[in-house]
Structure 1
């Protein structure tokens, strides 16, 4: 009997010690992780007692907190909620927090100015700081409308090459954050079910998170690698309709099986203007994997940015042999980019080869309207020399005018049509910049926009990009909305 009691007492003691160790491990070493986890509903009960800061852009309030008849603050999204949802995000009692609401949560709920131990949570009422965004409401509205009105799935990003300020970051399909944040639990649950069952994944910020094969817009990077390593716009390259990948029997062809300007030989300028695959395969395989990888890295492929928003890195993929180099040179095989990275690529050319870090928050403002933190342009890399950037600009301008003529603008552009599966319509791309406005844009429309396997970037994505370029304000113009 005494033996049984002794064993039970020892077992109880051991369990108590394990429990104390576990509690200490959680409370001391992981308290912050669990307390701030997006799914911790206690955070949102506390948040209801805080006058959370606003999020605004160009004078338009995009997110605000209003007090209800019970004295709790409820989050609402009063202006252009579908246009801005993938960027602004939502704050929900049931489904957590997303977008800038998550990335700048500590600012918005006033925690960055709160006092006291991090182990003790204060019930003292506090007022959050507000965010002012770099986004221009008119440009954002135009970008989203261009996608949504056509029923396209994809993304648009516009930014200032000289500073990295993002003017538009549109994503479709989108969603209404008011429905997710609805305090009526049944209504919020129905909205959540509808949104999460959409195969287009509206909750994903397609502009910054979705990595897709870029197709021929990647030839900007391939050309930069060539120009940095001894090639010139007049360098002769193959104009044949097909080329055999080194070390294989695989034939890679031009679009539609056409020759490049009549066959035989073509200059790099002609090859870029006409987007001839075979010429770029030849140049890339002559260069080898080193210059290709260096150029891709310099332009930001594989980079992520501190935006307060989730953003994917993209990838050049493994370049294990020259056949892989050749296929990657035209933006196929394992190459992936986001629309944000594509816009940064075009902006880098426009900014004389300097790659700026993109930014979507202009400043953080306290309740007393005092600026607490402010955006400052930051250079990420000098991707190419100004001379190479000038040559690339002329090549992109030649590409634009070959397709659209002059039309009174000074646009420089490149289109892309990216294969991503047998029998599937291609993803279509357009990147461009207007040096007169200091604006660059990238557009991707997934799966050919419903136009089938013959869809092209010039046909599907370019009209959207050109509309956004014409809508965006010149540098120095005041932002504003309708």
Structure 2
């Protein structure tokens, strides 16, 4: 063979080798990645040929597939779409899937390993393949109350069962109709998506878990926990509470909300400081405790900067950088770089309610095969123990005082002792403040822990968020016979 022909042969051999390697790389190494890629509409289209499983809340299908007469065999429907949209997400021919539709896709599509026996039986019997159902932990009364309370504002509500971590409610507003993104009309889908994108606040963002915000004074519960856990403080310990506090190493004066005075004596007990949400007292307290204690307590409550899978992926919460004592003072009142998701805020309340033990939040109670056989059931897990039962009791006493005597009065429920904390977080100059409330009830036997976030509400957590929390708490307790 002459040299030119040999070079051609070698080149062809190399090209064939590269082709074979690439095919194997795509089919073997990247197969899972490509199959799970939301942009891979081929896989999504194939899934329309089988009945997708339902998402179920308290025996009601809030997402289900129904037969059609068009080219795609099944259509996804959401009977109470806007109420559950933050949790269900959508299942779209154009935009793939989001929220639980994505997080539980393997079960709903029937490809989950736990459904292997069903798929094998389908193969031998000729039965049409179908997906499994996902049964959520949500309390419909809580979900409806949360969404109603948030109507007209941008915000979020998360409610948890403190003893298990089960998510009882997860609301986010503004909301949308996932059915309009899940139709079989591509033009209609794109038109509705464009309508949502044109809104000031995108309704497709689940603000309960997908973004974090400065928490303001609700972070004072974490600082209180850090102080009480040292053994050097009790709720009755007197701390400085000046009208203004000059931050160390600066000429910056930190003031109380509305330039108010926390105490005529310029000092007050720790319980009174939390009751009236005294900024100067908690800024100084955080400085006295030191960054390590404040940060360690925040991380023990879950503020590690890392997200969770519930099974939807959440944004992280954290304290951020603290480069000086002045920064520590600002961080200790929930400002500067401190950020929380509403889920994380609810976790703080839930840990206090559960005698200091923080349970891992979860949304899926059961996974069912197409014949409704339960193939998996939630097993609550402890995430951490940020404080002792004794400290949790002290925090409960202090948070009860906030609702009974202080800034959280609007969260009172007749005949029920509510423990809580308000928060009003500055965002930027000439931008309305964020408003928060966290709490739990009944304080002596907690059944629900809740966090309410109103973005740029412009008021205070006590007058904007606390009333929503009251409605959510009442809805759950009435359903429990409380």
TM-score by length of 2: 0.92
Q: 1:209 to 1:242 in 2, by over 3 A?
A: same
Partner SS state of residue 456, structure 2: helix
Per the alignment, residue 292 of structure 2 pairs with 290
Tell me whether 1:371 sits opposite 2:374 in the alignment: yes
Tell me whether 1:461 sits opposite 2:465 in the alignment: yes
Per the alignment, residue 189 of structure 1 pairs with 190
Per the alignment, residue 432 of structure 1 pairs with 439
What whole-Å deviation, never above 9, does each CA across 1:279-304 have from its counterpart, x for those lacking one?
11111111101111111011111253
Per the alignment, residue 342 of structure 1 pairs with 345
Distance 2:265 2:77 in 1: 57
Distance 1:350 1:164 in 2: 11
Deviation at 1:319, TM superposition (A): 2.2
Deviation at 1:358, TM superposition (A): 1.0
The one of 407, 413, 436 aligned to 2:420: 413
Q: 1:45 to 1:125 in 2, by over 3 A?
A: farther
Tell me whether 1:385 sits opposite 2:388 in the alignment: yes
Deviation at 1:7, TM superposition (A): 5.3
Partner SS state of residue 193, structure 1: helix
Per the alignment, residue 247 of structure 2 pairs with 245
Deviation at 1:221, TM superposition (A): 0.1
Per the alignment, residue 60 of structure 1 pairs with 60
Distance 1:143 1:276 in 2: 29
1:216-365 counterparts in 2 under 5 A?
Answer: 216-229=217-230, 230-302=232-304, 303-365=306-368
Deviation at 1:114, TM superposition (A): 3.6
- Over the residues paired in the alignment, what is the CA RMSD in angstroms? 2.4
Distance 1:106 1:401 in 2: 48
Deviation at 1:315, TM superposition (A): 1.2
Partner SS state of residue 225, structure 1: helix
Structure 1: runs of 5 or more not aligned: none
Partner SS state of residue 207, structure 1: coil
Distance 2:110 2:93 in 1: 18
Deviation at 1:64, TM superposition (A): 0.7
Is 1:75–1:91's contact at 8 Å kept on the other side of the alignment?
no
What whole-Å deviation, never above 9, does each CA across 1:242-288 have from its counterpart, x for those lacking one?
11222222211111112212242111111111100111111111110
Deviation at 1:74, TM superposition (A): 2.6
Aligned residues: 468
Distance 2:456 2:303 in 1: 22
Is 1:63–1:75's contact at 8 Å kept on the other side of the alignment?
no
What whole-Å deviation, never above 9, does each CA across 1:293-340 have from its counterpart, x for those lacking one?
111011111253331212111111122322222111100010000111
Distance 2:35 2:387 in 1: 45
Is 2:210–2:315's contact at 8 Å kept on the other side of the alignment?
yes
What whole-Å deviation, never above 9, does each CA across 1:182-232 have from its counterpart, x for those lacking one?
101111111122123323121111101110000000000000000001211
Distance 1:166 1:395 in 2: 25
Distance 1:158 1:289 in 2: 30
Distance 1:246 1:155 in 2: 36
Dislocated runs of 4+, deviation >6 Å? 121-124
Per the alignment, residue 404 of structure 2 pairs with 401
Deviation at 1:71, TM superposition (A): 7.2
Partner SS state of residue 243, structure 1: strand
Is 1:438–1:475's contact at 8 Å kept on the other side of the alignment?
no
Q: 248-257 or 328-337: which moved more?
A: 248-257
Deviation at 1:76, TM superposition (A): 2.8
Deviation at 1:3, TM superposition (A): 6.7
The one of 131, 142, 145 aligned to 1:128: 131
Is 2:246–2:253's contact at 8 Å kept on the other side of the alignment?
yes
Distance 1:75 1:238 in 2: 63
Per the alignment, residue 446 of structure 1 pairs with 455
Q: 1:63 to 1:116 in 2, by over 3 A?
A: closer
Is 1:65–1:73's contact at 8 Å kept on the other side of the alignment?
no
The one of 467, 474, 478 aligned to 1:470: 474
Q: 1:39 to 1:473 in 2, by over 3 A?
A: farther
Partner SS state of residue 21, structure 1: helix
Q: 1:146 to 1:73 in 2, by over 3 A?
A: farther
Distance 1:274 1:439 in 2: 24
Distance 1:442 1:473 in 2: 16
Deviation at 1:100, TM superposition (A): 0.8
Partner SS state of residue 433, structure 1: strand
Structure 2: runs of 5 or more not aligned: none
Distance 2:189 2:271 in 1: 55
Distance 2:118 2:31 in 1: 15
Q: 1:459 to 1:341 in 2, by over 3 A?
A: same
Is 1:241–1:258's contact at 8 Å kept on the other side of the alignment?
yes
